[in-house]
Structure 1
Amino acid sequence: MDVLRVFNNNVVLARDGNREVILTGRGIGFQAKPGQHVDDAKIVRRFVPVDGKDPDHMAQQVAGIPPEIIRLVTDAMNRTGLKEQADDKPSLVMALADHLCGAIQRAQKKQSIEYPLEAEVRSLYPDEYAKGLALVDAMNTYLGGALPRSEAVAFALHLVNAGFSGGDMSATYAMTGVIQQMIAVIESTYDIKLEQDGVNVARFITHLRYLFVRIHQHKQLDDEPQPIIDSIKTSYPRAYQCAKQLAMVVQMRLNVGLTESETAYLALHVSRVAEKAGEPQSK
């Protein structure tokens, strides 16, 4: 591999075959110049930009984070069953490392932070929250218990974001609020209370998360045969009307209209979650 750009003594951008990679390691950039061969012995970690990420911008982010923090995050991810994400999602490693830097600074200053979405994260994203707790515990083995357990909320949201948009956190915050509002609409429509930590609601939320991914990627379902859509409207009129209300929520909150196929598919999930909550579905 040959050096393309030096960002600091510990971070360089290099060419590996036909791709550009970000390499970190103590002294890897010291006195290095573009065109020079990289000292393989100094490579500690490599990041391969994906999803169209700009290598130079990502390298600048990496250069702004102490290498020991990146190593700590990577080790913690490997120890908590997140090795695949650590290898495949460099932007997630960067996001967690950047957040950890701020968390450590707050701990040193004895500052605390409250996360207003804690209840929502616990109920909407239980798997990611559990992994967030595991990350806090793993990191605290290195940090002497400096991180409060509340940081699991932030780590969980970064994990959700990595599987959803891969970009800034605003899309994930928006998704979380919209899911909560959609659940409230179903509860109001059917006069029921959904158990957000239950299996059936978890399945419904999983569907919504995939829906938001399709919206984000501009790949909504739009090929369901019209007779099937008409059958859903006829068989589950209450659920379909509720789904239309949920589509309106999406339109208002995200400025995106749902296709008729997505609305019909959503109606089936509404029918299922309402029925499982004890409300017989009228046909």
Structure 2
Amino acid sequence: MFAIKKINNNVAVCKDGNGCELIAFGKGIGFPQMPYEIKLENIDRTFYNISAQYMGLMNELPMDIIEFTMKILPVVQSKLDYDLNPNLVLTLADHLAFAMERERKKIYIEMPLIYDMEQQYPMEMKLSRYIVAQLDKVFHVKLKRNELSGVAMSIISAKITSEQKTKGTDKIDFEGVLKDIGRIIEKELHIVVNKESFDYARFATHMKYLLDRICSKQYIDTDNITLYQNLREEFADISRCVDCIIEYLNQKLDCEVTEEEKMYLILHVNRICSKEKCAEETEDGKGNR
């Protein structure tokens, strides 16, 4: 195996014997001059099929959070009857890092009602409780109970169907659609979205999954009408923004978007909005010192 590109001191992009690219984790593997042949005993863990846009963003996440996520994901996957997207190792790490940051700063964000999530996604909620408990043991940060649903939604959003593995957005100008959606969010919510942020990359990945499902006619629909209505009431301004996004997608792609998909969109747009507000509050705090 050859290390071909340094991400940080402990992470590198590598090529295996078949010429396939992967992300390798191991103490100090990013130090030597690239490229070089790396000994397998120096590699702790490898991940295939992580999207290229995430590789350069790994430096934004604390390494201990990534390592924590790497250790718990095999447990999570073993309890589920569907495959998880490889990007989850980073998207979940990002979610947990952001949740801990909010907890330390006492910035709280309303999440979907725990009861509804327990009814609709019992296994994902069980795994969420396990993750949050392990997080407390390792980092000594006790997240609020309502964070459980957010962690569970990260898992649910990473679900891969067999159709998504074989069909994609090849016939869609994905970058153009994403830019248009970004403009809608900025206009409707009066924010400036940082297109270089990890959170935006995560949103972009979710949008690609959504468009993949639209292309393959594989819609998520689990009759979550109660949870969807609750979210619309809790996040009225974001719901209106999502309505504008759906109207745009209908006109652009002549597509059907289920209420379940709308629910996910509300959560993801809310997260972008919340991240921007969190950053603004931090900057305000600096300016007032």
Match of 1:89 among 73, 85, 88: 85
Are 1:13 and 2:13 matched, yes or no?
yes
Sort the Cα spacing of 1:64 and 1:172 in 2 relative to 1 into closer, same or farther, 3 A: closer
Cα distance, 1:155 vs. partner? 1.1
% of aligned pairs identical?
A: 27
**Quick one: distance in 2 between partners of 1:6 and 1:216?**
36
Tell me the SS of whatever aligns to 1:111: coil
Shift of 1:120: 4.7
1:151-190 matches, cutoff 5 A? 151-163=147-159, 168-169=202-203
Letter of the 2:138 partner, please give it: Y
1:66 CA drift (Å): 2.5
Cα deviation, 1:10-57, whole Å, max 9, x if unaligned, reads 1111111220011122211013312x112333312211116xx32xx2
Give the residue type in structure 1 aligned to 2:127: K
Instruction: Summarize deviations over 1:52-79 as a string: whole Å, max 9, x none.
Output: x32xx23223333232212212323344
Identify the residue that residue 4 of structure 2 maps to in structure 1: 4
Contact 2:66 2:90 in 1 (8 A): yes
Aligned to 2:97: 101
Q: 1:122-161 alignment to 2 at 5 Å?
A: 122-161=118-157
2:60 to 52, 60, 64: 64
Given that 1:136 and 1:152 are in contact with CA atoms closer than 8 Å, whether structure 2 keeps it comes out as yes
Report the Cα distance in structure 2 between the residues aligned to 1:172 and 1:2, rounded to whole angstroms: 31
1:219 matched residue in structure 2: 217
Q: Which has the higher contact order (CA 8 A, sep 6+)?
A: 2
How many aligned residue pairs are there? 189
Q: Secondary structure at the match of 2:56?
A: helix
C-alpha offsets along residues 95-125 of structure 1, whole Å, 9 cap, x if unaligned? 1101111122223333333214655534443
**How big is each residue's C-alpha offset from its partner over 1:221-253, in whole Å with a ceiling of 9 and x where there is no partner?**
9xxxxxxxxxxxxxxxxxxxxxxxxxxxxx869
* C-alpha distance in structure 2 between counterparts of 1:64 and 1:13, whole Å: 16
State the SS of the aligned residue for 2:216.
Answer: coil
CA distance in 1, matches of 2:135, 2:82: 15
- Contact preservation (8 Å) 2:15, 2:21: yes
Residue by residue, what CA displacement relative to the aligned partner does 1:127-171 show, whole Å, maximum 9, x if unpaired? 322322222122222223522222211111111111168984589
Where structure 2 has 5 or more consecutive residues not aligned to the other structure, the ranges are: 165-200, 220-245, 257-289
The answer (yes or no) to whether the contact 1:25–1:43 under 8 Å persists in 2 is: yes
Q: Which residue in the other structure is 1:28 paired with?
A: 29
Q: Distance in 1 between matches of 2:146 and 2:111?
A: 7
| Alpha-carbon spacing, 1:86–1:29, altered in 2? closer, same or farther (3 Å) | farther
Verify: 1:111 aligned to 2:112, yes or no.
no
Structure 1 length-normalised TM: 0.54
User: Per the alignment, do residues 84 and 49 of structure 1 end up closer, same or farther by CA in structure 2, a change over 3 Å counting?
Assistant: farther
TM, length-normalised to structure 2: 0.53
Question: Residues 80 and 134 of structure 1 are in contact (CA less than 8 Å); yes or no, is this contact kept in structure 2?
Answer: no
User: Closer, same or farther in 2 for the Cα pair 1:98/1:25, shift >3 Å?
Assistant: same
Distance apart, 1:9 and its partner CA: 1.1
Tell me the distance in 1 between the aligned counterparts of 2:82 and 2:160.
Answer: 16
Distance 1:29 1:140 in 2: 29
Given residue 60 of structure 1, which amino acid in structure 2 is its aligned partner?
Answer: G
Conserved? CA contact 2:85–2:160, under 8 Å: no
Q: CA deviation at 1:2?
A: 0.9
Gap change, CA 1:138 and 1:89, over 3 Å in 2:
same
Distance of 2:74 and 2:111 partners within structure 1: 26
Q: Which amino acid in structure 2 is aligned with residue 4 of structure 1?
A: I
SS of the equivalent of 1:90 reads: coil
